Amino acid sequence: MPKDWAHEGAEALSFVTAPPNNAEIAYTRFKGQRNLPYKEAEPYKSSLYYWWWAFLRRNKEYKNTCDKFGAGTMAHLYRDFGNIFDCTFLEWWRDHQGLFAEQSCVGGHKDTYSQLTYQIDPYRPLHHIQEEVKALHMSAQAIMPAGGSSVTSTAKYPIYTNVSAHTLHRVLELWDLKQTHPTDSAYDLGILAGLRPNLMPLSKYGATRTSKALEIKRHNKRARISISNQTNRYLRTAGQYIENVGLGEFPKALRR
């Protein structure tokens, strides 16, 4: 049974990247306007955590495990993520956000993290405080043992790398188009997804053998190949994201 994180105290959670922008998570260190993946997108789609959920929904093995109520090849992941197909993203996030939150260094991580105490004088200029905190941080890094942990996140499921929401949207859009238009060429899929080739207009007089007409033909061929290559690269990346999210890593694509 997936763990219920709903009462862990959302205002106390900390994330290494911006969580979904909704009223339940008003008290985080990430504030302000974020770039939307596309025009009129819901604000929460600016968060990498939404795309983690969205790509996992495309993993066929995970879908099969959910259909079997947690029995299957991804039963271990199901115990944490649950059935992501029977609820909206925000409903799911409310109960599972703790999977991505940074864990307190108190108690469980004393061997990994050094603790520094710094008393802030609220009457001092902010830039002075920031400089002192920066100096403390640099000092702590300097005295870390050479063989220290390379882990930068204490979350159970850390973000693998930072990718823009716009890119993730485009990658997933092309993947979904490939599923619904399996016989379409890479070029046609790219056009459906909104990729725009840099095509030159043909001669208005219908010329096809002049040097100018031949140059236009060569240019347009290169432009179409460029769109096809870009589409195929996105599709390969989508496949890697979907495969690796089933292993608990996202967004991870090593072969482009």
Between CA 21 and CA 34 the distance in angstroms is 9
pLDDT for res 110 = 42
Q: Check if the beta carbon of residue 92 is closer than 8 Å to that of residue 1.
A: no
Per-residue pLDDT, averaged over 163-178, amounts to 97
**128 confidence band (pLDDT: 50, 70, 90):** low
Q: Any idea where the domains of the chain sit in the sequence?
A: 10-99, 165-245
Residue 94 pLDDT more than 70?
yes
- Backbone conformation region of residue 125, classed left if phi is above 0, alpha if psi is from -120 to 50, else beta: beta
What lies within 8 Å, CB to CB, of 131 at 6+ separation is: none
User: How many angstroms from the chain centroid is the CA of residue 155?
Assistant: 15
pLDDT for res 207 = 74
The model's pLDDT over 7-37, given as tens digits with 9 standing for 90+, comes to 444 457 888 888 996 544 444 444 444 578 9
Q: Bigger pLDDT: 78 or 130?
A: 78
- Give the amino acid at 217: K
pLDDT for res 190 = 98
DSSP 210: S
Residue 137 pLDDT more than 80?
no
